[in-house]
Chain A
Amino acid sequence: MKIAITSGKGGTGKTTVSTGLFHVLTKHLRYNVQLLDCDVEEPDCHIFIKALKTDSYPVTISIPQIDVSKCTFCGKCKAICAFNAIIMLPTANFIEVVEDMCHGCGACLYVCKENAIHEHDRVIGSISHHDYYAKDEFIEGRMNVGCALQTRVIRETIRHGQQKGIVLYDSPPGTSCPVIATVSKADYVLLVTEPTPFGLHDLQLMVETVKTLGKKHGIVVNKAGLNYLPLYDYIKKEEIPLLGEIPFRKEYAKAYSTGIILAEHDDGIRALFQTIIKQVIHEETV
């Protein structure tokens, strides 16, 4: 069973929920579980999950290189490139690929009849495997700084996840391609929100997205205590299960700041996470 933990708005507590659920599942409920950090732009799970790195490999894409001596400047490669990654100036005998814009689709290579294009690997990120309580329980995807192909690194991270047991995806914020890359591979989507106008607005976008994708979903309200009624009215109206509420406490925020897993140190939070995950598993098996 694959569960994506996502939010729309950033900073609502995705990582707190993912690492908390992971901790409870592996240590207390003794499940076969794996945590995948899919927030490859800013992977933060490792700050909380102090696991032993066992293996890591680069994520690469194939980038074309154009041999000017063979190029006839026919313009086919430039014409097919959907990403405007080829700059061609026939009068200056100049043609080049802008690597940062290239998606590595191979279309230019396919259309070049002069055999002027060859490909080389470009590293865009890395995947690392880690042991926690059990072997290979934590996998982190990490995009290289300056790269813009986050979805590719996410897909590769998910590809490395186990097929059996429970897999938790810590999703990136937002609602666009990186989130879709994560959520579309999940069986269940856990939406983390906060009781503020921003939290509600971004939750609504995320609910529309998961409905479009046809995914089962439930909500966790973080930083609860602020009785912001429009959020609760919305959840009720949409008939989305409210799986649990994490109260707002300054000491929780402080614990978070130092990289502590709340569920490990606070009995109430641990019990809460157990209730949340049991409901999700129940939803999925019914």
Chain B
Amino acid sequence: MKKPFEIVVLSGKGGTGKTSLTASFASLACKAVFADCDVDAADLHLILSPKIIQQENFTSGAKAKIEKEKCTACGLCATLCRFNAVEIQNNIYHIDEYACEGCGLCAEACPNGAISIEEYKNNHIYIADCHYGPMVYGKLGIAEENSGKLVSKIRQYAKETAREYRSDYIIVDGPPGIGCPVISSVTGTDLVVAVTEPTLSGWHDLERLIDMIGRFQTPVKVIINKSDLNEEMAGTIEKKLKEKGIEMLGRIPYDESMIYALLEGKTINEYEPHGLLANELNKIWNSITTKIYEPESI
């Protein structure tokens, strides 16, 4: 059986249009599963309006907790903790839960057994159905951590769903940045589509993203969104990508219909199916997909 082809949409810099483009690809792809791995601020469901079929809680690491009654204020935990997560106020010890990384060293070392490690279970994973196919997404609990693990789990579920539905593609809306959730979205994927904008920040952030992806030897192709905001910069970016041997998928001009589509909760291709943007996106999607199955069809 053909393995579904996974495409992860990333950007480095936030707000370049990842989610809008992912949603448009969703409306163009036949037989695909969609996943939102921007678990901090998942927005894809706002356009695709999925109906939740299944929901589960997800553990996201752990935090230490000091039992006041058992604590003798010996100070060992504070000495050992490398995250400065043990706070002392009026000789009462407690854990700064936002600094604690849940390593468990303090609990192991405490001579009075006053420290326990508690798991946090405030994250959710949703398996849902939208107009274009199944969708998997997550929601991180407020002030939660370990989004990297949640991302891996969402991708795993998306893969299982894709196998079940015999889908051709998995289209993933990725998180911004280049840190742990992004690394979790990139490892072992088939293609990264990086969306940038023709600004100095856009290029700076894209360059760091490309360096990061290069470490995993994942193929990456680039779209310059809002390209006419600064044509000169768009040209410079294209030139620099060429030097790096990275393929451009296309330029998409700035167009307010992108925002109006969003306001109506529609993808570009639904909002203005014969407009300039939809046309460009069609071309880009075709160029992504024809190349994928070319070798197999020979």
Q: CB within 8 Å of B: which residues of A? A: 8-12, 15, 39, 41-42, 44, 47, 61-62, 80, 82-83, 103-107, 110-111, 143, 145-150, 155, 172-181, 184, 196-198, 201-202, 205, 208-209, 212-213, 226, 228, 250, 253-254, 256-259
Contact = CB atoms under 8 A, between A and B. Distances in A.
A148 B224 CA distance: 26
Nearest to B140: A176
Contact of B108 (A110, A175, A177, A184): A110
A174 B103 contact: no
A123 B204 CA distance: 21
Interface in B209-265: 211-212, 215, 226, 229-230, 233, 254, 259, 262-263, 265
Contacts of B198: 257
B12 interface: yes
27 contacts: A42-B178, A42-B208, A44-B204, A47-B200, A47-B201, A82-B62, A103-B103, A105-B101, A107-B103, A107-B104, A143-B179, A146-B212, A150-B177, A173-B177, A174-B40, A174-B176, A176-B147, A177-B144, A177-B145, A178-B179, A197-B43, A197-B46, A197-B262, A201-B41, A205-B142, A209-B142, A257-B200
B103 A198 contact: no
A42 B101 contact: no
B160 to A, nearest CB: 22
A174 B175 contact: yes
Contacts of A180: 98, 143, 145
Nearest to A11: B15
Nearest to B177: A41
A254 B16 CA distance: 14
Per CB-CB distance, the 3 closest pairs between chain A and chain B, nearest first, are A11-B15, A10-B14, A174-B40
Given A106-B80, A107-B105, A205-B41, A257 B230 contact: yes
A173 B62 contact: no
Nearest to B178: A41
B180 interface: yes
Contact of B233 (A80, A107, A257): A257
A143 B12 CA distance: 13
B183 interface: yes
Nearest to B180: A148
B13 interface: yes
Size category of the B interface is 35 or more
A179 B143 CA distance: 9
Contacts of B39: 176
A105 B98 contact: no
Nearest to A103: B101
A56 to B, nearest CB: 17
B121 interface: no
Choose among B13, B15, B148, B175 the residue with the greatest number of A CB atoms under 10 Å from its CB: B15
A208 B143 CA distance: 9
Nearest to B211: A145
B212 A80 contact: no
Given A174-B175, A226-B259, 8 more contacts: A42-B208, A47-B204, A146-B183, A148-B148, A176-B39, A202-B43, A209-B142, A212-B143
Nearest to A185: B98
A111 to B, nearest CB: 6
B40 A173 contact: yes
B15 A9 contact: yes
A254 B229 contact: yes
